[in-house]
Amino acid sequence: MNTLKVGDKVPSFSAMDQDGNTIKLSDYEGKKLIVFFYPKASTPGCTAEACNLRDNYSELQAQGYELLGVSADSQKRQSNFRNKYEFPFPLLADEDHTVLNIFGVWGPKQFMGRKYDGIHRMTFVIDEKGIVSKVIDKVKTKDHAAQIL
């Protein structure tokens, strides 16, 4: 797993969001971008994390941040997740792992003694020039916005 680090330039990428729109890294040029990766839509930890970001969205925006959520879920699953909790930011349906692999968040995990490959819950803060300025790998799902700010 070769994860992007602070100071790395993020390679350009594009992926479909929950509504089938193509979202590209270049869409956010000149803006600060938070990209948060979560293992699976509508699971308790992912819901807590995304809802915490939703509840603090206006504060994040006031500080100049845009948000993108990413998992390997289908568009339909992302769409249901977004509509149910009324997230004001897009969720990428990265089913082919393009974005997961660019950021290096797909890899071996262990849960209750079982080893498997999956998405590591991580958040990347990217500056206006597309450079990683912060990496959060110990995400506090219920207090994530505070970690970012």
Query: pLDDT at residue 145 above 80?
Result: yes
Q: Which residues are the active-site residues?
A: 46
Residue 117 burial (CB count, 10 A): 10
pLDDT digits (tens, 9 = 90+) for 23-76: 999 999 999 999 999 999 999 999 999 999 999 999 999 999 999 999 999 999
Q: Is the pLDDT of residue 112 over 90?
A: no
pLDDT tens-digit readout, 116-130: 999 999 999 999 999
Q: Could you give the CA distance from residue 2 to residue 149 in angstroms, rounded to a whole number?
A: 26
Residue 1 included in any domain: no
- The verdict on residue 65 lying in a domain is yes
Q: Report yes or no on 97 lying in a domain.
A: yes
Query: pLDDT at position 111, please?
Result: 83
Nearest to 145 by CA among 73, 78, 76, 63: 63
Looking up residue 42, the CATH number of its domain turns out to be 3.40.30.10
**Residue 7 within any structural domain of the chain:** no
Question: Residue 110: which pLDDT band, with cuts at 50, 70 and 90?
Answer: confident
Is residue 21, in this structure, part of any structural domain at all? yes
* Domain count within the chain: 1
Backbone torsions φ then ψ of 138, nearest 5 degrees: -115, 80
Domain that holds residue 20: 14-148
User: Would you say residue 4 lies in a domain?
Assistant: no
Residue 8, in any domain of the structure: no
The whole-chain average pLDDT of the chain stands at 96
- What angle, rounded to 10 degrees, do the helices at 44-55 and 75-85 form? 50
Query: Is 117 a domain residue?
Result: yes
